[in-house]
Amino acid sequence: MTTLPSSSSASSASPDASQPISAAPAVPRRRAPVPRGRFAFVTGIVSWTLLVASTLFWCALLFPLALLKLALPFAAARRRLDPLLNGIATAWISGNTGWFAWIQREPWDIRGNEGLRYADWYLVNCNHQSWADIFVLQRSLNRRIPLLKFFLKQQLIYVPVIGLAWWALDFPFMKRHGKTELRRNPALRRQDQETARRACAKFSLVPTSVMVFAEGTRFTAAKHAAQDSPYRHLLKPKAGGLAVALNAMGNKFRSLIDVTIVYPEGAPGFWDLACGRAGPVLVRMRQLPVPPSFCDADYGSDKAFRTEFHHWLARQWQAKDAEIEALTPPRQG
């Protein structure tokens, strides 16, 4: 994954963080022209077939090691087995990204992923628009930083084969609770925080990249309107996941990698990517230092820290929104 430069390298279009943000309408996402014809469909079928075959092959190697790790739940065993498991996942990603890159009609513009260390720890934060974001991030950061570990919805563990692979690789599964449910039972919030802390404790044993989509869900115009988001191209960020990761292992992180993905002609779906018609893709990254005070504060109980953390994240989101605006072509008509 690409890294974020220091805060001084943020886009010159970034607004002054001290100024309030006025609500702005969402910018409609224009879709890329969809190539018609049998060739695109056949390419999509081949892509899907290769992805399934590759997943089955690498999982056949992954699962026996995962069972061995389950039978030997000791830190010393994990330090030996986790690099092997992560290496299998990295090889799987390399094959997938190599194929998807080869079939795209337009080159991707990826900047800021230089100077990263594979044998280190990173916290990665990115805007979220499509399932294609995962493949974009993997292509941008594979073998540059350790394997990306995502926070996943609990239901995804039931996805055939790949759900077990995520479990074997220690991806944390989080339960989604609505606001009404949390008001009735505030202890549920603490439950998810403990799940995240346990996952981060495992990540501290070997170099790992913890990936967070701070928006919590994919951007749509309907969600943007329902939130009355103050950003033109982003939903409001949710601070909890980032804060818990920083609190659990912030001293381990070399930096926070702030990633911005822009699809100038509209966010593609997985099928667009599989058919080679993702359109232009722009990726910008910068490395930000992790404030030392964030590593020890308790987001759940420290109100002053929560306020400080929200302001810190809002400044990042302002800069990201301005960068997306600068990279998005003006609407026609």
Reported as a single tens digit per residue, the pLDDT across 16-57 is: 433 333 344 444 444 444 444 678 999 999 999 999 999 999
- The reply to whether 17 falls in a domain is no
- The reply to whether 106 falls in a domain is yes
- The reply to whether 72 falls in a domain is yes
Does the predicted TM-score (pTM) go above 0.75? yes
pLDDT for the residue 179: 65
- The reply to whether 176 falls in a domain is yes
Residue 60's identity, in one-letter code, is: A
- The reply to whether 3 falls in a domain is no
Q: How far apart are the first and last CA of the chain?
A: 36
Burial of 8 (0-12, 13-18, 19+ CB in 10 A): exposed
pLDDT for the residue 19: 37
- The reply to whether 15 falls in a domain is no
User: How many domains would you assign to the chain?
Assistant: 1
Rounded (10°) CA dihedral 218, 219, 225, 228: 90
Confidence of residue 86 (pLDDT cuts 50, 70, 90): very high
On average, the pLDDT of the chain sits at 84
| Average pLDDT for 197-220 | 88
Cα gap 180→188, rounded to integer Å: 11
Q: Which domain range does residue 258 map to?
A: 36-327
Specify whether the CB–CB gap between 285 and 113 falls below 8 A. Answer: yes
- The reply to whether 24 falls in a domain is no
Nearest 5°: phi and psi at 90?
Answer: -65, -40
pLDDT for the residue 329: 84
pLDDT for the residue 106: 87
Q: What is the pLDDT of residues 88-135, one digit of tens each?
A: 999 999 999 999 999 998 889 999 999 999 999 999 999 999 999 999
pLDDT for the residue 331: 67
Cα gap 161→152, rounded to integer Å: 15
Structure-token pair, residue 113: 């992923």
Top pLDDT among 18 and 176 is at 176
- The reply to whether 31 falls in a domain is no
pLDDT for the residue 2: 37
Confidence of residue 182 (pLDDT cuts 50, 70, 90): low
Percent of the chain with pLDDT over 70: 85
Specify whether the CB–CB gap between 271 and 48 falls below 8 A. Answer: no
Q: What is the pLDDT of residues 296-309, one digit of tens each?
A: 887 877 888 889 99
| Average pLDDT for 150-166 | 87
Confidence of residue 189 (pLDDT cuts 50, 70, 90): low
CATH number at residue 300: 3.40.1130
Cα gap 297→302, rounded to integer Å: 7
| Average pLDDT for 76-92 | 94
pLDDT for the residue 21: 37
Q: Assess whether pLDDT exceeds 60 at residue 10.
A: no
